[in-house]
Amino acid sequence: MTSGTMLAASVLQVTDLFAVGIGFDIAGAYLLARGLLISPHGLWVRFTFAGAGTRFVDEAKDRVMAVVGLGALASGFVIQAFGYALSLAVEPPNDKSITSALVAVALATLAALLIVGAEAITRARRLRSLLMAIACADTVGDGPAGAPTVRILVVGAPEIGVQRENGEPDEDYARRAFGVDQVRTEPPPTRAE
């Protein structure tokens, strides 16, 4: 064993799994709260006529964060339970040092940062996938069955980081932003007689 490996083995303990699990729980709770706790202004916009057309995008963003948050919470509980069972099975009681406590805090912090970072890095991809599913579930419009609806893709495109080019028609913007060939368009409104 190298001195670095020996130092890591002497500092890291089975009970550090508790700290890692707590880090997962903290990150999961944070992501879940971000998806659930909407600012008063955000709530107001969602329930106005102006916000009605983009409400599904906000709710899709909330959902993609909440899914990772719930997964992190569940993983944290499982890791803590595993660490507890393993510590009962293999570790004899011993004196705890300040170093061990600092390692536990560092591991919890690292685990929380990893989860929040991974969620942020993958958010656009997961949001894109969910927006496509919503657009394909929309049955309004003319075009091939199962093709996504243009209006949903156009509203969601800026949220995945794709901006409209100057003068770009909705259909072209939707195709470019989401990498699809076929889209459904809104039928023109009919006049009531």
The pLDDT of residue 164: 95
Tens-place pLDDT, residues 143-172: 677 788 888 899 889 989 999 999 999 999
Q: What is the DSSP string of 34-45?
A: HHH---HHHHHH
Can you tell me the distance from the alpha carbon of 57 to that of 131, in angstroms, rounded to the nearest whole number? Answer: 7
Percent residues over pLDDT 70 in the chain: 73
Instruction: Pick the most confident of 8-12, 80-84, 146-150.
Output: 146-150
> Regarding predicted confidence, which is higher, 82 or 120?
120
Above 80 in pLDDT, residue 130? yes
DSSP summary character for residue 54 = T
State how far the alpha carbon of 101 is from the alpha carbons of 27, 76, 162, in Å. 20, 19, 45
Above 90 in pLDDT, residue 121? yes
Above 50 in pLDDT, residue 193? no
Q: Residue written as tokens 């927006």?
A: 131
The pLDDT of residue 100: 64
